[in-house]
Amino acid sequence: MKILNWYVTRGFLLAFFMAIGILTFGMTGSNLVKVLDYVSQGISFFTFFEFTLYILPIILTFTVPWAVMVAVMLVFGRLSADSEITAMRACGVSILQIVSPILIITFFLMLFCLYLQVEVGPPLLGKSRTLMQTAAINQPLAIFEPGKQIEFENTIIYIDDKEGEDGIKGVQIYTLSDPQTVAQDISAERGKLLVDKEKQLLIVRLFDCLVVDKKGAAEQQQDGEAGMPTRFFTQQLEFSFNYGKQANERRISTKAKYMKLTDLMGKIRLTKQLERDTTELEVELNQRIAFALSPIAFLLLGLPLAIRTSRRETSVGLFLSVILAGVFFLSIILCESLSSFPHLYPQYLLWLPNIIFQILGAVMTYRISQR
């Protein structure tokens, strides 16, 4: 029996580690596209690797359950196709005995995912966002992209191109007197970006500028007069923005998705004491636990499907695992999107994918064991 268990376990572990490597690489890569763009513009590779380490725990909470599903589909699909499961059962070995080592491994993987979801992942995810904000400000060209709108306080900036380490070309700046009124329209052939890290100031220095002052014209129109914008040319113009103040304002409160479990539960209790709605916070809490318990659900459903399909081709197992994982994750994300509708109780709907997968898997496994 030990030899049999080791045979099944070895196949599962090999498939699992291959799957988790590929899936984690793929999901990490999709999150690193923007960071690689920053690296090409001067941000250090150390920041790149630090960001990767910060987002890895949360990514693993998705890829570990998915890798369990892939490994189960591949291993037990092959065992069934080769009639090895039939031979084992003919020798008096039950389905439960065959899969028992995998159940134990999956249980510990579930505990690992739970630890990542409630303790490690959320705070590190918050650090990854802060890291990129800080890195982008320390390297100004990283946040200035051609054709992209950059906003600081009451100012909107566009650029056509970048040159060198701190140069910008084809600059267009709009200063606003209110959210819908342009006070000044400034065009410059070129400019330079400077950072005063001590004072936390971002300085935009422009050269050869054409300034169109619309504020006076707007005031004349309010008085019933036909006002015209004032135009003038200047060789140099400078703007400074207190990026430190904006960054500190963003960090005053931590979002629920970046809190540890104890902090999140404390916030829920405090919000209830203030007699405010806690649906969004409860959705976040239940979502984490539901994701963490998903390896068991994926195992229970993947096992009977793999035995029933009885195919050696990896493409069939991979296709089914992608479909099932997609349905599971999308169902939870859909329930999460209902957090603004507390009367639908989305914090409890989140558990439906887990419950359905586990019940279906248990029923199908029982039927197979009775054949």
pLDDT, one tens digit for every residue, the chain (371 residues): 677 778 788 888 898 999 899 888 888 876 666 666 666 655 666 777 788 888 889 899 889 998 998 888 888 888 777 777 777 777 777 777 778 888 899 999 999 999 998 888 888 888 887 776 666 666 656 667 777 777 777 788 888 887 777 788 888 888 887 766 788 888 888 888 887 767 667 788 888 888 888 765 555 455 445 457 788 888 888 888 776 555 555 544 567 788 888 888 888 888 888 878 888 888 888 888 888 888 988 888 888 887 777 555 556 667 777 788 888 888 888 887 887 788 888 888 888 888 888 888 888 877 776 66
Distance (Å, whole) CA 216 – CA 184: 10
CB 41 within 8 A of CB 141: yes
Residue in the block written with tokens 């650029």: 159
CA–CA separation, 218 and 222 (whole Å): 6
- Of 17, 259, 7, whose CA–CA distance to 121 is shortest? 259
The backbone torsions φ and ψ at residue 155, rounded to the nearest 5 degrees and listed phi first, read: -130, 135
Whole-number pLDDT of residue 149: 76
Whether the CB-CB separation of 193 and 141 falls below 8 Å is answered with yes
Residues 6 or more apart whose CB falls under 8 angstroms from that of 144 comprise: 150, 157, 159, 162, 168, 193
**Count of CB atoms situated within 10 Å of the CB of 174:** 18
Q: How many Cα atoms occupy the beta-carbon half-sphere of 251 within 13 Å?
A: 14
Tokens (6 digits) for 369: 């064991």
**Which residue is it, tokens 């090895």?**
84
**Amino acid 112: pLDDT:** 93
Which pair of tokens denotes residue 298? 């994926």
Q: Tell me the CA distances in angstroms from 258 to 48, 51, 82, one per residue in order.
A: 20, 15, 47
List the structure tokens of 219. 């005031």
H or E element that contains 55: helix 45-81
Q: At what angle do helices 121-138 and 243-250 cross, to 10 degrees?
A: 170
Entry pTM: 0.69
The whole-number pLDDT of residue 269 equals 87
Q: What Rg do the C-alpha atoms of the chain give, in angstroms?
A: 28
Strand partners, 242: 201
Measure the CA dihedral 348/349/353/355, to 10°.
50
